[in-house]
Each structure stands twice: as C-alpha cells, then as structure tokens.
Amino acid sequence: MKQHEPASEKSAAAGASLSFGAFFRGRYQSVKKRLGPLWWYAAILFCVMRFGDVINLFIGLYLVPKYVLPQELGAVLPLSRMGGVLALPLIILLLPCRKYLNTYATHGELGKVKRLLRDMLLFSLLFACGALLYAGRGLSFVFERMRVADGSLGILLVITGVTSAVAPVLGTAMEALKRFRLMAFIGVVSAPLRLATMLVCMPIRALSGYLMGQAVSDLCNIGIPLWQLRSLLFSKIPSVSYWKTDGMAMLRYAVPMAVFVISGTLAGMTEAFVIRHRLPDTESAAYYMLSRFAEIGNYVGGAVNVVLFPLVAERHARGQRSSHMLLQSFAAIVAGGVLLTIAFALWGQLALSLLPTAIPYAGFAPWLALMTIIASLRCLCTCYLAHEMACHRFRYIFYYSGLSLAETVLLYGIAGYMFFAPYVPASWIAWIAAMNPMRLDFILLLIYGITALGVVGIAVHWLRQDRVMRWTEARGNGDSAGRAQDLPAGTPV
C-alpha cells in the first residue's frame, strides 16, 4: 500500500518553499530600492550591452581585419559614419520626436504618442525612397577619396543611414514607456544577428557585408519595438494632433538640436575621412584598430546614458533636481576611463601583440592611452549633453557645437592647407608645412585639445548654473526658475 506523507510535513515543506522564495523576492526588491531606478536599470543594461560589446569587439578586432584588405581597413570608420551624413535631413526632422515622445508618455498622452510615431515612420519611408535615388550617382567622388570600389556601397549607406536614424527614436519610445526589459532583450538579440549576417556576407564582399550587418542590426532595433508598439499604433485610441499645441515648441527645440547634430556628425565624419584620405593606408588602418580598443572606455557611460535621459526628463517635468544623478554618472565614467587608460599605458603594446590581426599596428601602441582618454572625455561630454537636453537647456549644446565645428574646420583646413596658398602669406604655408600636420599623432593631439575644452566647458557651465540656482532659490523662486534661466524665450519649462 502506498504511504502518504503526513499533512503536517507537506505544509511544512510548502511553507519553507514559500519563505525561501519570499526571502529572495524581498532581497531583490531591497537591492532594487537601494540602488534606485538609475543604477538598477543601468546595471541590467550594462550587462546586456557588455554581451553585445563582446560580440562587437570580436567583429571589430578579428572579423573585420580578417576579411577587409589591409589597404581598405582604414575606410571602415568613414564608411560607417557616412550613413549618418546622408541621413542628416531625416535625423534633423526626427529630433523633436525623441524629446516629445518622452514628454507625452510621461503625461500619459497616448493619442499624441500614436500620431507622432505614425508621422515619423511615414517621413522616414519617404526620405528613404528619395535618398536611394541619389545614392547610385552622387557618392562616387567620396569612394574615390576613400580609395574603395563603389559597388553596392551607396545603396547600403543610405539603408544604414535611415535605419540608424529611426532606431534611436523607437528606442526613446521604449525608454519613455519604461520598457527597459524589452530594451535588454533587443540588446541580447541584435548583436548576434549582426554577427551572423557578417559571417555570411563578409567573405563574399567584405565592406558591403560589414554595412549589411549594421543594417540588419538596426532593422532588428526597429522591428521589435514596432511589434511591441503595434497595440498602440493600431489601437482604437484616437490620434491627437500635437502640432497645434506643441508645433512651435518643437521648432524651438529642433533648431539648437539641429546645430548640435549637424556639427557633431560633420566633425565625426571629417575626423575619420581626413585620416583615411590624407594619411597612408597603414596609419589609417592603425587608427581603426586602436579606436576599437579605446572605445572600451565608453562601456560604462553608454549604459548610464541610455537610462539617464528618460529619468532626468521625468524629474525635470516634475520640477525635481537631477544633479545627483549626473554626479553619479560622471563618477562611473571617470573611474572606468582612468582604469582603462592606466592599463593601456602599461600593457597596450602587449595587448596589440597578442592579437594576430593587430600585430602590424603594435608600433602605434603609445597613442592608445591618448585615444582612450579622448573616448572617455567625449563620453563625459555626451553624458552632460544628455542631461542638458533632458532639462531643455541649450547653452552648453551651443558651446559644444562650436567646438565640433572648429574641429571640422581645423582638420579639413590643415589637411588641405595648400588650397589657401594663393590667399595667405607664404610664411604661413611654410610654417604649417614645417609642422608636417598630416601625421596621426598630430591629428590625435588636435582632437584631444578640442575635447578637453569641451570638459572645461562643462565645469564652467555647471558652476555658473549652480550659482544662478542658489541665487534664485535664495529669492524664493525655487528650482523651476533656476532651470528657466537657460531656456530660449517662450520655451515651456
């Protein structure tokens, strides 16, 4: 006869199981509450993004150098940035979408969210059709200066440009709706999909396969959020016009942001293009390889910035200060950057020598620490820019945009200084020629100087802003007056 356990033993086992589960749920909630939303979701996204970064490191340090010819390796970075230049009109058009999707979602205005998303997708489709018609003819002079064959690169650049412009907006929609778990899932899926595409396509044609992998990854970043948002896009919630109520505010927001995006995009493209166009193949390839290592310093900042923007925007909308979040983000970025810089200063040449694809560029190891510092300083600037954008403040954005434009002018002007020979004194041309500016170390030092000015600008702007905040609070105007001092006239707080 089968014996049954006494009821008391069963209840005891069930109680122990429940208490065990309750204990871990309690610890889970306790840790989550103790960390706060910024660091809890930043930690989750940090782990997910590191998974993607491991794959991207494999792609950048092994797969790309394996299949791309050494004489074309230096063209990878300018090609990857060219899509952003081609998509600049669309990026500018979509600029207000990221801000106001966050605002509408925070206030529960789903009808405006629905209308804005639909309009954004329609504009993107129309732009893609027009840009594809141009791509087949207008890019041959660029490919000639990059020393690469045209082939299907023009069409692929347009596709990557459009998808890379749309994907962040949908990512912002996920951030605004606090779908951080879905964002983590997308991060887990998109990187392996990119790797699989490149493994299939790069052996056939390396540069085209690289761009196809990027396009497929961005399409994943678009498709999954759209599938998640289908219940909103095709719901019975009536679409509500946003233009009548917020059209002028969108334009006031878009103008300074357009200046920032145009200047930053052109500076990034000019930097990579000048190095590829003016330097020998070996130096431009070395810049690509060193940049893959140096950008490891952005891992912490990238995860923090994804979470920082929506949380700061929400606190700003509620009239709450967010300086403590910014300080925590700065501390994480600085700590990661310092540790990596020290590691590369001591063992950079060893790291390059251990990687078969990087051995030809081990002689450039002394510049790896400087490139890591540049990447970390830029990450600090990006963090502060995200904070200021979320708070609808633009003074530092104009300052940083001016530095980006100065970098563009200096790099391209120095690279083509002989063009100015008929218009300036001969002694000036001789002085520039004596410096021999077309060297990788000279260009890196120039970029470092401009980036350092960006960090100095953060300190000056923050100290000034804090002084105004304290003054307005002393007069009883509160936090909102402190924020309003930095807004363009007529912009709602």
Query: Do residues 209 and 191 share a domain?
Result: yes
Tens-digit pLDDT profile for residues 255-275: 888 888 899 999 999 999 999
pLDDT at 404 over 60: yes
Q: How high does pLDDT run on average in the chain?
A: 81
Query: Do residues 326 and 446 share a domain?
Result: yes
Query: Do residues 78 and 196 share a domain?
Result: yes
Query: Do residues 177 and 279 share a domain?
Result: no
Task: Indicate whether 10 belongs to any domain.
Answer: no
Query: Do residues 320 and 397 share a domain?
Result: yes
DSSP state of 61: I
Query: Do residues 212 and 280 share a domain?
Result: no
Task: Indicate whether 189 belongs to any domain.
Answer: yes
Q: What's the maximum distance between 2 C-alpha atoms anywhere in the chain?
A: 110
Under a CB-based contact definition with an 8 Å cutoff, are residues 214 and 74 in contact?
no
Query: Do residues 349 and 492 share a domain?
Result: yes
Query: Do residues 229 and 348 share a domain?
Result: no
Task: Indicate whether 373 belongs to any domain.
Answer: yes
Query: Do residues 312 and 339 share a domain?
Result: yes
pLDDT band at 94 (very low <50, low <70, confident <90, very high): confident
Q: Give 286 or 155, the one with higher predicted confidence.
A: 286
What is the distance between the alpha carbons of residues 464 and 479, in angstroms, rounded to a whole number? Answer: 15
pLDDT band at 131 (very low <50, low <70, confident <90, very high): confident
Lowest mean pLDDT among 50-59, 244-253, 296-305, 354-363: 296-305
Lowest mean pLDDT among 37-51, 114-128, 304-318, 366-380: 37-51
pLDDT at 61 over 70: yes
Task: Indicate whether 308 belongs to any domain.
Answer: yes
Tens-digit pLDDT profile for residues 320-355: 777 788 888 888 888 888 999 999 999 999 989 988
Top mean-pLDDT range of 227-241, 296-310, 327-341, 419-433: 327-341
Predicted pLDDT of residue 125: 85
Query: Do residues 392 and 334 share a domain?
Result: yes
Task: Indicate whether 25 belongs to any domain.
Answer: no
Among candidate residues 188, 218, 240, the one where a domain is terminated? 240
pLDDT at 483 over 50: no
CA 284 to each of CA 270, 341, 439: distance values in angstroms, whole numbers, following the listed order = 13, 22, 10
Among candidate residues 203, 220, 240, the one where a domain is terminated? 240
Task: Indicate whether 294 belongs to any domain.
Answer: yes
Predicted pLDDT of residue 31: 62
pLDDT band at 487 (very low <50, low <70, confident <90, very high): very low
| Arithmetic mean of pLDDT, 445-456 | 94
Query: Do residues 291 and 229 share a domain?
Result: no
User: C-alpha dihedral over 132, 134, 140, 143, to 10 degrees?
Assistant: -50
| Arithmetic mean of pLDDT, 165-179 | 77
Among candidate residues 240, 268, 285, the one where a domain is terminated? 240
pLDDT at 312 over 50: yes
Query: Do residues 100 and 224 share a domain?
Result: yes
DSSP string of 99-149?
HHHHHHHHTT-HHHHHHHHHHHHHHHHHHHHHHHHHHHHHTHHHHHHHT--
DSSP string of 457-477?
HHHHHHHHHHHHHHHHHHTT-
Under a CB-based contact definition with an 8 Å cutoff, are residues 56 and 195 in contact?
no
Helix or strand or coil: residue 265? helix
What is the distance between the alpha carbons of residues 72 and 79, in angstroms, rounded to a whole number? Answer: 11
Per the structure, the count of domains in the chain is 2
Residue 368: domain span:
249-493
Task: Indicate whether 134 belongs to any domain.
Answer: yes
Percent of the chain at pLDDT > 70 equals 81
pLDDT at 6 over 60: no
Task: Indicate whether 272 belongs to any domain.
Answer: yes
What is the distance between the alpha carbons of residues 401 and 115, in angstroms, rounded to a whole number? Answer: 31
